[in-house]
Structure 1
Amino acid sequence: MKNKVIVFFVTIILIASFITAFPFFTKNSLKEEKSETPICGDGTLYETCSVTKPYLCEQGILVEKISVCGCSSLSKNLGGSCYSVHQSYPEKITLKYILNRTEKEIDFTMYGEMADYISRVSRVIEYREDEKPSRADFKLKTINDEEQRELLMPLVVKIQNLANDGVEQARIAVSIVQNIPYGSTDKTVFFASGEINYSQYPYEVLYYNQGICGEKSALMAFLLKELGYGVSIFYFSEENHEVVGIKCPAEKSFRGSGYCFVETGGPAIITDSFIEYVGGIKLESEPEVIVISDGKSLPEKMQEYKDAKTMRKIREGSWFIFNKNKKFEALKKKYGLIEEYQVE
């Protein structure tokens, strides 16, 4: 009888241990299965066509495979390659970016015919009498041009091939745009109200290798949108400045907006919103938030959050920061920071 009681209790203990441990093993098994699923940088499974034609996910890299995946509706298969009608007069460009303290480059092909097409796209939006023109309409028109998207998507794919991790992809995209020189075109256009400055589309910013904050913000917004992020643009009317917002946890976001602040005029730390611009200008007004796309969010933990706080303390001369010059130089090297930031 005594032996039966012992066996009974041992059995109960074993069953209880199994029940307690089962969720742990199941959870970890699922986690391992998920992490081991082979995918490319855009989330496409191995040996599967991406939603971006004509790319196939092959051994972790998105490669052109026209025979398997076909061409998009805006291009044609000519001799085994997909060609857009604007794909003439190719020019090689090199885009600089900084990742993990290292300066790197991306080679990319652009087309003179596409730049010429974009320059002819009307900047006018027609409204009914009861409709009110909005900055958002013009910004979305600039970013969402389908012909432009067709020839910018290969750059998005290059970024996705450089890193499977979505945060790394965002860092690369941000750095590429920040490292494009700040500058304005001397072109003007005529509207009914008179002559105004010409506004470049994202493709033109890359092609001519320059742009002002609004133009560079549109390019950055395009890249982040195509990488799957929730994106907005902050427009500060009083300071006449634009920056990009990336969806992020509310407590990390700019003034509780749900979007993290990203300067576009030059290399800066994601979430660093306390930059002092040329002339001592600071962004103190309440911005208009223009939502560009819904999508994924930056994570709760990123090194940039801490680095941006450190940068703010350095600017404020906080006595909590020891070796300020040394820490500033370290951040400058890490992100390629510059001395002066411009507003429009």
Structure 2
Amino acid sequence: MPLDDRKLAVLRAIVEDYVATQEPVGSKALVERHNLGVSPATVRNDMAVLEEEGYIRQPHTSAGRVPTDRGYRLFVDRLSRVKPLSPAERRAIERFLAGAVDLDDVVHRTVRLLAQLTRQVAVVQYPSLARSSVRHLELVQVSTTRLMLVMIADTGRVEQRLVELPEPTDTDVVLDLRTRINEKLCGSRLVDTPALVETLLDEIRPEQRPTMAVLSSVLLETLVERREERVVLAGTANLTRGGILDFHGSLRPILEALEEDLILLKLFGEVEPTTTRVMIGDETQVDNLRSAAVVSTGYGPHSTIVGGLGVLGPTRMDYPGNIATVRAVARYVSELLAQN
């Protein structure tokens, strides 16, 4: 049955107190700490209803109650107010990220910052090549028969390959090919480049085709075939003080899950634009993370989502604070990528 406003207020108070104290919450403490406007007996009755409906539970023989995953879900969806970051926190984020010198530095600064601000495990996905566009392609002549192909994506991600040419090639030919490749591919999404690369072979002079054929193969490998997605973590030590354990009282399964890139990409990489996703307990659909919660969002330049970031911690986490921090950091990273 739907909960009335008073019972919702009691649930909110239980979640907030349990997150703050890490102790089961009793009716007397609720009345003392919160202006609920009712007697402890009324609060006890409300708590009985909340327990019956599956929003709170009584651990062991304690007189207090703790939220269930269902209770946290309702709290996140209806009861929590996202905490605005203070001006000092915003300035700290901006200063810390503004000092980054390249994409690797941006990613590693971001993940460290998230872990420090939230005291959870932070995860940042590198900008996905599948969602990126070509900013520039450079051909560096190492020798007459060897080139270095450098692809720079619009996110700042850089991929490079050595190209062994079938015959000695003049510098003028290399410069001409570089110009043609950039004219054809710059600004295109990487997933749209295969057809463009094929047309390049038809448009160049016959004597350049052997070189272009080799270049085309390496281009396709660089732009399309290599779908390696990378994630970085920070703050795993926070798990030891966060009280996150699996149902057998062990951290090991959780740490094992964090070592699986595919799991992390599923949790943090599959995000929708302009939304913050919160997964609690079984909602992660990962057995080893049934005692965990995930807050994630997407980031990227000019409203284009190129990767995901967020935090993982116990279901008993500060959802309003973590949601605000994850959103703010994602916004600053997006602005940073848009400037480069």
TM-score range, shorter chain: under 0.3
Larger proportion of helix: 2
Instruction: Report 1 or 2 for greater relative contact order, CA contacts < 8 Å, sequence distance ≥ 6.
Output: 2
TM-score, normalising length: structure 2: 0.22
